[in-house]
Every structure is written in structure tokens, then in C-alpha cells.
Amino acid sequence: MKGFLKSLLASMLGCFIVIGVFMFIFFISLAAMSFSSSDKYKLKDNTVLTLKLEGTLSERVQPNSFMDMLGQNADTELGLDDILSSIKKAKENEKIKGIYINAGAFMAAPASLKEIRDQLADFKESGKFIIAYADVYTQGCYYLSSVADKVIMNPQGNLDLHGIAASPTFYKGLLEKIGVEMQIFKVGTFKSAVEPFMLDKMSDANKEQVTAYIGDIWSTITSEISSSRKISVEKINQLADSLQTFKEAKYAVQDGLVDTLMYETGVKEYLQGLLEVEKKEDVRLASIKNMTSVPFENKSKSKDIIAVLYAEGSINNGSGKDGITDKRFVKEIEKLKDNEKVKAVVFRVNSPGGSAYASEQIWKAVTDLKEKKPVVVSMGDYAASGGYYISCNASKIIAQPNTLTGSIGIFGMFPNVEGLTKKVGLSFDNVKTNTYADFGELTRPMRADEKAILQQYIEHGYDLFLTRCSEGRNIPKDSLDHIAQGRVWTGNQALKIGLVDGLGDLDTAIEEAAKLAELSDYSLKDYPKKVDLFESFFSNQKEELTTRAMKEYLGSDYELFKTIKEIKEQDFVQARMPYDISVR
């Protein structure tokens, strides 16, 4: 009897747990639907689109996460796609009278900043106004804001215009102290991604290429500021060399970089005057998030689709959603290839590279896709090394003038931790059946014959990379080798040497895809598909919460943490850029 009661109680408890789980899912579902339906935003007359530029910029950000529903999602990450679409909608919608740029601490690379700036310049053709305000203008935000009709700054603020520098970190000394030797295998005079592990300063070749590409990026930035603000490039460089506008706000006005000084509280009054409304309350501000639920007024209903496939981050093996994983993207590309409604694909690549093997798998999928329909690559901030590998066989390649691309080279790193193990008192011994049975052992240095085998393997990988690029770009292999060698180029430079076909933004690439597919009317669809709130909650909350916590805690140092994590997890053979460039 006692056993029967125990079993009965256990069964009842199990039922209650199951019912509780189902009730929890039910209420979460209701909350998700309620949240989604209540999140619709309706535009009213005299609305101003507010671009609050803070945090970091990504190509796309997943909307409606569970953290949004709880009200815990600080705007620490903005999606480039959301910003661009908000500006486009604002241009065509009569209820929106202008744009207010509220610039803060915004982390973005030069090509993305230019893409936003170009979209703002296009918006101005509508005759609507753009005003910009900041307490402190960072260099990147000022570059973007300089396109505005009116540039306003806090009277106690400053404007940071200082130029561009690249400052890589070198780990050789640290590794020597802890007893770790990085055994390096590479091809390419300029393949500098391995330099931090084998040198204590930049090589002459690396300094040459970095000087060339940051100089070209800075030239683009200064020429566009010069055009908008009617200040000579020479004067802009003089101001950058003196840091004068950083010292005191009045100098920014005197030198013509800023139009007027005003506290943020006065900006709404200024907007009120522009809108010619009686009350401040009649000035309505719509955020980027608000605009995501506002439809395009003239959206095509054509059944012919141009797909935009976004690929952002490092290239790795696997099927995960972090970065560009080969199995996941091969699957996405195959779906687009087999979808008869999709007439062309724009492959949006924003990657410094990664696994050479994974890059080859994605290259093959793109090649197969190209046999059935046009594929146009749109390069973002980076499409270098592995990022160029997966792009090189597209029908056409479009880059921004300050995209970092090329870096056609391969390297491999293999640690020898013998020194570390000796420091902590560990020793090792082994027996083996064959000469190379212990090949790859970390606790001893490689023999000369093993190094020769690995170097040959790396050289074969470089030759394959060259072959892929030579065939894709229709450049003789010998000629390509001269501009490869791991060298990084800007989009401007890449156009001159034949690595890309044209300069422009994502819209330029879409227009090119439409021409190749002979489409006069088409609809656009983005891939991979963004998940909704319900899917987001049940997919990977642990990963989302961990990532969000790390970003909050580390701030701008999160990118360094991510790079170290990727180095730890990466394949032995890499096609990767050395480091990222941000305009701050």
C-alpha cells in the first residue's frame, strides 16, 4: 500500500510538472503575441525620424528577443539594415518631415558609416531637412553627421577629429615568458595576421600596406567632409593635426565644422521651428525601432524575388548561428538555388575571413548557385581573405570605396607548449608504430621534415586560393599572384587592379542583380530569415544572455575578447585578415 501511494504521488507530481511547463509555454506564447501586436507603430503628421547612434553596429540585429519583452534590452547594438530601411521609409513617407541625428558613442567601421551617410545624402534629395546634434562628436559620428543641413554641438562639448591609426597587439613576448612557441606556416609577403605571434613590431611590408589603406580610407572621409562643409581637405588635416576642435567647442564653430552650439534641450525647440508647429508636444519623434514596423509605401508585390543573403563575421566550420558557418550557409545557398521564385541573389559579405576549408565549401555552393542564376556580391566593411574567397566567383562584385578586401593568402599556426610544460614540472614520453604517428603533438617542437610537410600543405592551399580567384576574376594566375601575397586593399584600390567590378552600396548591388536577371519589377527578401519573439525565446537564450552580459561588461573590449575566442576555436589553416579598423 505504501509503495502504491508513493507511485501515485510521483505520478501526480509528474503530471503537475508537465501541466506547469505547458502553462508556462502557453502564457509565454500569449505574451509574445501580445508584445508583437502592441509593438506596431503608426506614424502621425509632423514626425521626425530620430537616428540615435549609440553602441555597436552590425549588419542585422534579431528583433523582438525575449529581453525586449522584459524591457531589459538596452540599445547597445544597431542593425545597419534597420537604419538604412528607416531612412528610405522616411524619404518616401509624407508624414516624416526630416531626420534628427543624435550622435553618441557609436562603434562602426568606415564602409558602414559611408553606407549610412550615402543614404542620408539620398534622403536630402526629397527636400526634407536633416539636423545633427551631439554632446561630443566622435570622429566616425562627425563624418556621418557632416552631411546634415545643420550640425549642432553642446556648448561644453568637443569634436574629436584626429585621423586614423592601426595599433596591433603583439603577443610574442608574452608567449616567450610563459614558454609557448607559435610555429608559423604562411604564404604571402603581406600576410600579416601571424605577425603578432612571431614579431614584436610590424614588418616593413605590413607597414607599407597598412599605411596605404588607412591613407585611402582617410582620404575618402576628408574629401566627403570637405564637400559637405565647404572646407578644404588641407584645412581638415591641419585641424586633425592640432586637435583644436577637441580643446574647446567654440573652435569647432570658428573652423566651420559645426554650425551652432546648443544644449540638447534647445534642439526640440529648434525642431519645433522647422516644423512650424505651436507646441513642443506636436513634434513627434520616431525611433529606428519604431520604423521597423512601418511598411514601405511603394513596396513591390512582384513574385520575382531578388534574395539578399547576409554573411557577417568570421568563417568557421559547423552549422551554428555565430558568424559564417559553412554547413549553415551552404544549406541557405542551396535553398536559394532551388527556389524558382528567386531570380537573382545579392550576397552581402562582411567578413575578415577565417577557416580556409569552410571558405572552400561556401565558394563551391556559390559557384553552383551562379550556374542557375546571377550572384552579385555586395562587400561591407570587410570582404578580405576568406571573405574574398567566398566572393571571388560571383557574377559581379560591388565594394564600398573604403571596404577592406583582397588579402589573398593562407597561414597556419601550431603551438609548441614544451617550454610551458617544463615550467610546471611536466614531462612526456611516447612509443609509436609509424614515423608520423605523433604528428601534431603539442608538447614538443616540430621536426624539420614535419615543418616541410605543413609548409607544402599551406602552399597547396594558397595555390588553390589563387586558382579560385584567377578563374573567378578572369585574371592570369601569375598576374594575380603579384597583387595577392596576402595584401589588403581598399575598395578604391581593388577596383583599379580588378579585384572588384564597381563601387557602391547594397542598393547598387541589387540594381546590378536586377540588370543581370533582366528584371524591371521585383520584390526583395532577406536571408537567413530573422526569428520572431517566440522562436527567439525557445532557441538559444543561454547564448543570447551570455553574449549580452559580456558586451555590457566589456564594452569596446568585447571585440578583442571575441577575437581571442575565435583564435582558440579556429582551424589550423586560416585565410584571415590581421585586425579590424574602426573610425572612432
CA distance 275 to 204: 56
Judged by phi (left if over 0) then psi (alpha if -120 to 50, else beta), residue 302 lies in beta
Per-residue pLDDT, 35: 47
CA distance 250 to 335: 57
DSSP strands (E only) in 260-389: 260-261, 284-286, 305-312, 315-316, 324-325, 342-351, 353-355, 375-384
Report in angstroms the alpha-carbon separations of 227 from 24, 54, 252, 349, 437. 58, 26, 17, 29, 65
Domain assignments of the chain as residue spans, ordered by start: 47-162+243-291, 305-535
**Reported CATH class of domain 47-162+243-291:** alpha beta
* Residue 20 phi, psi dihedral angles, 5° rounding: -60, -40
- Identify any residues that bridge with 523 across adjacent strands, giving them in sequence order: 305
Residue pair 235/210 in contact (Cβ under 8 Å)? The answer is no
Residue pair 259/176 in contact (Cβ under 8 Å)? The answer is no
**What CATH code would you report for 305-535?**
3.90.226.10
> Cα 494 from chain centroid?
20
Helix axes 110-124, 204-229, angle to 10 degrees: 20
Segment-wise mean pLDDT, segments of 10 residues, the chain, 584 residues: 53 57 52 51 90 93 57 68 96 95 93 97 96 96 97 95 90 91 87 87 92 95 96 96 89 95 92 88 90 86 95 92 93 97 97 93 98 98 95 98 94 89 90 91 92 92 95 96 94 97 97 97 93 54 52 53 52 58 48
Domains 47-162+243-291 and 305-535 belong to one CATH topology: yes
H/E run at residue 426: none
CA distance 574 to 186: 9
Side chain identity, residue 66: F
Of 241, 96, 192, 242, the C-alpha closest to 409 is: 192
Catalytic (active-site) positions:
191, 385
Q: pTM for this one?
A: 0.85
Per-residue pLDDT, 77: 84
H/E run at residue 182: strand 181-187
Q: What is the CA radius of gyration of the chain?
A: 27
* Residue 293 phi, psi dihedral angles, 5° rounding: -95, 0
